[in-house]
Amino acid sequence: MPLYGIQIAFKDYKITRGIEGSNWSDPWYKWFLNFFTDPYFGRLLKNTFMISGLTILFGFPAPIIFALFLNEMRSAKVKKVIQTVSFLPYFISMVAFVSLVTEFLSPSTGLSADILKFFGKEPIYFLGDAKY
């Protein structure tokens, strides 16, 4: 049953009839033939290999280089902050992460505003001012 839906690739599937009610394609490889003879097939195949190759080329060494740079940092506090910030999106969703950053940088209720007010400075709207 896990591959039950794979039948759709060999049928003239109609959503109103469902998988069982749809007729088998004639020939059975009709949709594969359609895909491989499409004029955009070459471009699609090239783009797929390009994206995969670039992902391997840049995506594989990047975390290793980042780890080596992080390992060479002298300040343990800065190192821990960078580690926490770089791994935070893996533990909480990006929406929650952006919401936290927005709240911290808010000029009226954010942590940055409270710190600046404590030192007698005016709050800065970091997310709304182009120079920041």
Structure confidence by residue, pLDDT tens digits, 70-90: 999 999 999 999 998 888 878
pLDDT at 39: 95
pLDDT at 109: 82
Do 116 and 123 touch, CB atoms closer than 8 A? yes
Supply the pTM of this predicted model: 0.48
pLDDT at 119: 92
Amino acid identity of residue 70, one-letter, is: L
Question: Distance between CA 106 and CA 116 in Å, rounded?
Answer: 12
pLDDT at 48: 97
Amino acid identity of residue 29, one-letter, is: Y
Do 102 and 113 touch, CB atoms closer than 8 A? no
Do 103 and 95 touch, CB atoms closer than 8 A? no
Strand intervals (E) in the chain: 11-12, 23-24
Question: Distance between CA 82 and CA 68 in Å, rounded?
Answer: 13
Q: Which residues of the chain have pLDDT under 70?
A: none
pLDDT at 30: 92
pLDDT at 61: 92
